Amino acid sequence: MAKKLKVAVCGATGYTGFELVRLLLNHPHVEIAALTSQQSAGKKMSEVLRSVAGRCDLVLEKLDPAAIAKKAEFAFLALPHGEAAESAASFLEAGLKVCDLSADFRIHDRKVYEKAYEQHKAPQYLKEAVYGLPELHREKIKKARLVANPGCYPTATTLALAPLLKHKKISLDGLVADAKSGVSGAGRKADLAYSFAEVESGVKAYALFTHRHTPEIEQELSECAGASVRITFSPHLIPMNRGILSTVYARALDGATTEDLNTLYRRSYEAEPFVRVLPPGALPRTQDVAGSNYCDLAPVGAGDGRVICVSVIDNLVKGASGQAVQNMNLMMGFAETAGLEGLAVVP
């Protein structure tokens, strides 16, 4: 057996950290060398995440890039933005490859980033960073030292629109993405707004016209279109843990039917291991991707110019940690699907 890649998960006790650990423990070419946590340092991982008891004996440590660089070759950063940029710089300087799950290196334009987030902590790496959506940027990812793992909403929405934009099938005006997200997207934290009592059996919209993922989505859509694209992005909180369903509205330049669109999408994604286009007439459920790295798509055309594409992913897998593993696989030359064969747990 070949020598395994030694990886570190920085920020292992948030939900994307949990999910990285879950996936990496069953990855054939990887060994987890270090797990970090600011709040739980000194505890065993299995004390925080009981589900890995018997399978992971590592003790959580404080994030010390120098110490970690001695035992790991690859770092996943599941850290708050800002902290991620700083750590990424340290790891890159120490010779590690990095997949950053924060927003820090997703937006190419520093000003746009700083307007949505804060002053950038490592702008010198912005140019080098590759946006880690393999379906759009696979070849660049393969050569990257630093991959910016996409946001969950941008992943679902960009995959829904890419074929239409690349093939110039739709107007660039009036795009709407009405997205429905599970609660795990809010992270692992004590917050009344995400308590069970406040979330169960109800739904709400939030951050209308103002969500930080909007510029990220617009960057990728614009790249697909070869022109500036704006989108109205409306996130909603759904009483479920995992999953994003993005209902994307566009206006076709012709009277595309569902059959037409289905053909276009199947061709566009036929070589993709993690994108599935449903047969005409079927609409996707988040349940069928939950726990897996798939994105299921269903484009629907009214025949009168109106087009909807429904896109579902697991926000913690294809929307975060699974895609990060996919990126690592590409960066390291592993099979792209290694460690990602798990299917949705249904029901």
Interface with a second copy in residues 169-228 (CB under 8 A): 174, 176, 178, 180, 182-184, 186, 188-192, 194-206, 208-209
Q: Mark residues 230-259: x for contact with a second copy by CB under 8 A, - for none.
A: --x-x-x-xxxxxx-x-x-x-x--------
Going from the C-alpha of 260 to that of each of 48, 162, 310, 312, the distances in angstroms are 49, 15, 16, 21
Among 120, 276, 319, 324, binds a second copy (CB under 8 A): 276
Q: Compute how many residues bind a second copy; rule: CB under 8 A.
A: 80
Shortest reach from residue 344's CB to a second copy, in Å: 4
Catalytic residue among 99, 152, 224, 309: 152
Contacts to a second copy from residues 300-329, by CB under 8 A: 300, 302, 306, 308, 310
Task: Return the structure tokens found at 91.
Answer: 């790891």
**Which of positions 35-94 make contact with a second copy (CB under 8 A)?**
49-55
Which two three-digit tokens encode residue 57? 């004996």
The CB-of-66 to a second copy minimum distance in angstroms stands at 31
User: In a 10 Å sphere around its CB, with 0-12 CB exposed, 13-18 middle and 19+ buried, how is residue 87 labelled?
Assistant: buried
- By rule CB under 8 A, what string of x and - marks binding of each residue 286-305 to a second copy? xxxxxxx-x-x---x-x---
Question: What's the min distance (Å) between Cβ of 69 and a second copy?
Answer: 28
How many CB atoms are located within 10 Å of the residue 146 CB? 24
Closest CA to 155 of 88, 93, 243, 54: 243
Pick the closer one to a second copy by CB: 85 or 179.
Answer: 179
Q: Which one, of 183, 165, 320, lies nearest residue 242 by Cα?
A: 183
Nearer to a second copy, 226 or 239 (CB): 239
Whole-number minimum distance, CB 169 to a second copy, in Å?
17
CA dist., res. 75 & res. 96, Å (int): 7
Specify the residue, 71 or 302, whose C-beta has the smaller distance to a second copy: 302
Concerning whether 10 is annotated as a catalytic residue, the answer is no
20 is an interface residue for a second copy by CB under 8 A: no
Determine the 3-state secondary structure of 91 from DSSP: helix
Closest approach, Cβ 73 to a second copy, in A, equals: 24
The helix or strand, by DSSP H or E, that contains position 157, with its residue range, turns out to be helix 152-166
User: In sequence order, which residues have a C-beta less than 8 Å from that of residue 5 and are 6 or more positions away?
Assistant: 29, 30, 31, 73, 74, 328, 332
Residues labelled catalytic? 152
